[in-house]
Structure 1
């Protein structure tokens, strides 16, 4: 039984990664201290994601305070259906209808960054590509056969998977080289990557709003323990001085 548990513990992480597309994950260099980035990410979420995905464990008021957004400004630009600042971030999509349209209700995204990881989200949002065989006309490298439309296509443009021919063992083989937009998007490729990073930054924040505060407290605790250790060591030497 112990051997079986060890084998399962070793294989489970690999199985989890295998459930994705097996694509290389790009590094999301997010910065939770960058309030401008977080504000931009909040705007993107409210405009492009909230129609389907909720954040039912995050309150508007908390986001306004943490992102340095005045309540009046937040209500004017981040609340569209008359919610009160103290309410949770929800949408009006019926779960039954969502399941019918998408095959399953779109998941709540409050904790998605903690479940998937920032690198996964950053790569996922940048690797949609045209696939006419899919219901919404797009597929994804990180999440193959995804049941979600490319909601950021307006910003990115129409993305296509590009390949190059390489000679392998005397035979020409098409090898994937990247995703390329047709240029019809509102943003340039560099601007789109920045926008996605802002959105990921915001999702990381909502997954753990008190993270910066916790890290700050943790550093002070470590300093306290180090000082306390020195004092205890000196006290121990004083008590045992006559014995030694």
Structure 2
């Protein structure tokens, strides 16, 4: 009993930093309509990832040839995803060197292989849609869910430029609200840009666990097998205890 109490006490102490970190980064985010079974969405997301993300970030836990699982042929991969002379079997590495990135941005951009598992799809979906102009930062950009983010808004040509406007509502509660306002339109409408981000985040979720769909299907088969086995086990039990009961 004493050993169990000691174990519980130690576990509680070790978990305190986890709760502290969670509360520190807890922000209101929008629900991301993710569907990793939608292969067409994943293909569009892969193309967007290569074009807009892979220049600075890498996905070093992923190989290009894994996109065959999405229905892409080797020629599709070479023509649509590889633009740097790499081979189909190579890892998806960033073209930017770490020292150069640290000199330009102050910190090297993180690898995005498991970013969706670390941050969550909802966080990424909100993050990519809430950049706004801020002259107080080095890049001239800021973000609602990641204050003073070192990353500039590389998708501003698509979304446009936003500013953070503050409205003072003088009512009985004297509340202050903040909202994003578009000052320079992008080449996409708001709906088109949201769909673009959904595909991109969907792909980043896929990056974190490319075999998730297969694992789920295998799990369903295993559960079905166990239910069938349970029936046979019950019949065997009845036969074994028939003469006793």
TM-score (norm 1): 0.92
Distance 1:25 1:143, change over 3 A: same
Greater Cα shift, 197-206 or 154-163: 154-163
| 1:17 Cα deviation from its structure 2 partner | 2.8
Which residues in structure 2 correspond to 1:83-98 (within 5 Å)?
A: 83-98=86-101
Which residues in structure 2 correspond to 1:141-220 (within 5 Å)?
A: 141-169=144-172, 171=174, 173-176=175-178, 178-220=179-221
**CA distance in 2 between partners of 1:13 and 1:140 (Å):** 24
- For structure 2, the 5+ residue unaligned runs are 1-5
Q: Deviations over 1:124-146 (max 9, x none)?
A: 11111111100111111111111
**CA distance in 1 between partners of 2:82 and 2:89 (Å):** 12
Greater Cα shift, 210-219 or 93-102: 93-102
1:14 aligns with 2:19: yes
Greater Cα shift, 224-233 or 87-96: 87-96
Structure 1 partner of 2:132: 129
3-state SS of paired residue (2:166): strand
**CA distance in 1 between partners of 2:205 and 2:161 (Å):** 27
Q: Deviations over 1:99-133 (max 9, x none)?
A: 12112211100111111111111111111111110
3-state SS of paired residue (1:158): strand
| 1:5 Cα deviation from its structure 2 partner | 3.8
- For structure 1, the 5+ residue unaligned runs are none
1:226 aligns with 2:227: yes
TM-score (norm 2): 0.91
Whether contact under 8 Å (1:23, 1:141) holds in the other structure is: no
Q: Deviations over 1:29-70 (max 9, x none)?
A: 11111112111111111111111100111000112x022122
**CA distance in 1 between partners of 2:10 and 2:38 (Å):** 46
The alignment's C-alpha RMSD in Å is 1.7
Whether contact under 8 Å (2:163, 2:181) holds in the other structure is: yes
**CA distance in 2 between partners of 1:35 and 1:181 (Å):** 32
2:47 to 40, 43, 47: 43
3-state SS of paired residue (1:148): coil
Whether contact under 8 Å (2:54, 2:95) holds in the other structure is: no
Whether contact under 8 Å (1:52, 1:93) holds in the other structure is: yes
| 1:180 Cα deviation from its structure 2 partner | 2.9
Q: Deviations over 1:139-198 (max 9, x none)?
A: 111111111101111110001223333125574x5311x323235211111111111110
Following TM superposition, where does structure 1 have runs of at least 4 consecutive aligned residues deviating by more than 4 angstroms?
Answer: 168-171
Structure 2 partner of 1:33: 37
